[in-house]
Amino acid sequence: FAGYISQVLKNYTDHACDGEYVSLRCPHRTTISIQSSFYGRIVPSHQMCPSRYPHSYATLIKEDVACSVGTSLQKMLDECQDRRSCQFLVNSRLFGADPCPGTGKYLIVWYKCRPNEYKSKVACEDDKLRLSCKKSMVIAVYSAIFGRTQGGSLECPYQTLGMPMIECQSATALQHMIKRCQGKRSCSIYASTYEFGDPCYPGIRKHLNVIYTCDNTPFLLPVDETQLPALNSSMEPVGISTEMALLSNILATYAFIT
């Protein structure tokens, strides 16, 4: 049980060298959400994925350590996005043209496990955002963004006023939303710089976007364990049994220890 909880509460990173299988897997009721991917080589082979064949020193110093393939993210999305698990053999033919023939490469993948059923709420700057779940269910926050994203928000059109379209996001938005809403049946929060600070240049209009799910068992859904706050008396889940509150405290303690 403890091992299962530790898997669900973290971000995932997996890697495989050329000729090896990469295997991505998510727990029950979640699916793979690819965050980023790299295929190529940026460190020498003696540090990562050494060559299977003997090389002279002259060959090693010619190794390309500035090699990357731009199609790796799209390939990972095609193979694994929204699936519970995926596995395939890593080799350069999968990613199109080889930018550095003769150099052994490797794949690194960063991903999360997303709940199968989730809700998304958006609030424009200075508006109130309200999250709620049905009776006997509580909020489990999956992600939170406060700031300005490259694609913007259809609900909150920006007035650029001649300012460039640049991304700026609060680094603590997820942690703050977990602290305010995790384990509660409902909660409200203003999408304001008072709550989240101002990650952007003055005058840039921001928005708050929260993805969450409703569940009978709080803290069992994938949030970053490094950002999971310890519970105290003011943060205990509302409307759940004493046993569930005790379980939540045990899980928070376990995440802190690991």
- pLDDT, tens only, 103-135: 889 999 999 888 777 788 999 999 999 999 988
How far, in Å, CA of 70 to CA of 153, rounded? 27
- Both 88 and 36 in one domain: the answer is yes
Contact assessment for residue 184 and residue 164, using Cβ atoms and an 8 Å cutoff: no
Based on the fold, state whether residues 111 and 138 are members of the same structural domain. no
Is residue 222 a part of any domain in this protein? Answer: no
CATH of the domain at 83: 2.60.120.740
Does 85 share its domain with 134?
A: no
The pLDDT of residue 163 is 61
Is the residue at 227 inside a domain?
no
**Does residue 105 share a domain with residue 8?**
yes
Instruction: Give the end of a domain, one of 115, 148, 178.
Output: 115
> What would the pLDDT profile of 132-152 be if each residue is shown by its tens digit?
998 888 888 888 999 988 766
For the segment 94-105, what is each residue's pLDDT rounded down to a tens digit?
998 888 888 889
Q: 250 versus 32: which is more confidently predicted? A: 32
pLDDT of residue 60: 52
Q: Are residues 100 and 124 in the same domain?
A: no
Last residue of a domain, one of 89, 115, 141: 115
Please check whether residues 102 and 150 belong to one and the same domain.
no
H-helix or E-strand spanning residue 188: strand 186-190
The dihedrals phi and psi of 57, each to the nearest 5 degrees, come to -60, -35
Last residue of a domain, one of 97, 115, 133: 115
Most confident stretch, 56-60, 142-146, 152-156, 192-196: 192-196
User: For 10-20, what is each residue's pLDDT tens digit?
Assistant: 678 999 999 99
On whether the CB atoms of residues 185 and 135 are closer than 8 A, the answer is: yes
Helix (H) or strand (E) run with residue 256 in it: helix 242-257
Q: Are residues 100 and 9 in the same domain?
A: yes
Q: What is the mean pLDDT of residues 202-214?
A: 87
Residues 55 and 160 grouped into a single domain: no
Provide the domain limits for residue 99.
2-115
99 and 123, same domain (yes or no): no
Domain total of the chain: 2
Asked, for residue 233, whether it belongs to a domain, the answer is no
CA distances 60 to 16, 66, 101, 206, 251, Å, are: 21, 14, 14, 49, 48
DSSP letter (8 states) at residue 228: P
Encode pLDDT of 226-248 as tens digits. Answer: 333 333 333 333 333 344 444 44
Residue type, 221: L
Q: Using alpha carbons, list the distances in angstroms from residue 170 to 24, 52, 132, 154, 200.
A: 29, 44, 23, 20, 8
In a shared domain, residues 74 and 24: yes
